């Protein structure tokens, strides 16, 4: 299948917001999506962006059954490992279901890895749901490993009232 991968721009935020909801539906967590198109525009395309993105696009003749040509995306940001230095964190990797199995997800992930290496990063980090066997198998086939299983780390989060409480001196 003919597709291209390119850096996102502010005009892509409507489609990214749509695909974020689609990903949340797949993961059965739509109630957690609070982000809006406007948030994406501000957070990704301001003077100091909080994230970067790439998008997969198909030509008009291959548009989705709903008429979309923007059919996948990855969001990422740079982070730092106190052990190994510069790192890139892939927040999302998503391809619309009707386009899966066509190497689009691999191309998106490969591009994030390329961008990370170009920035001097030596690791790519991301999370995957424990029940998502097809994604786990894909990541393992790419040479990735499960940090929880091999090193015993757990991904932790503090949010909302708990974060506000934690922030109190």
Q: Which residues of 17-26 are buried (b: 16+ CB within 10 A; e: fewer)?
A: bbbbeebbee
- How open is the CA angle 153-159-163, to the nearest 5 degrees? 105
Residue 9's φ and ψ, nearest 5 degrees, are: -130, 170
Distances in Å between the Cα of 29 and the Cα atoms of 33, 34, 58, 100, 121 are: 8, 11, 28, 21, 31
- 94 catalytic? Reply is no
Instruction: Find the catalytic residue in 80, 99, 139, 153.
Output: 139
Positions marked catalytic: 139
């Amino acid at each position: 299948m003919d597709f291209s991968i390119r850096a996102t721009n502010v005009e892509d935020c409507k489609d990214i917001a749509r695909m974020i909801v689609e990903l949340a539906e797949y993961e059965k967590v739509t109630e957690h999506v609070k982000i809006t198109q406007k948030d994406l525009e501000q957070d990704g395309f301001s003077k100091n962006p909080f994230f970067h993105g790439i998008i997969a696009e198909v030509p008009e003749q291959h548009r989705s059954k709903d008429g979309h040509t923007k059919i996948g995306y990855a969001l990422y940001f740079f982070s730092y490992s106190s052990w190994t230095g510069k790192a890139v964190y892939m927040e999302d990797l998503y391809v619309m279901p009707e386009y899966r199995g066509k190497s689009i997800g691999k191309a998106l992930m490969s591009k994030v890895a390329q961008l990370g290496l170009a920035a001097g990063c030596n690791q790519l980090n991301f999370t995957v749901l424990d029940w998502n066997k097809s994604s786990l198998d894909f990541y393992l086939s790419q040479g990735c490993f499960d940090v929880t299983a091999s090193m015993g780390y757990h991904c932790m989060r503090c949010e909302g009232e708990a974060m506000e409480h934690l922030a109190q001196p």
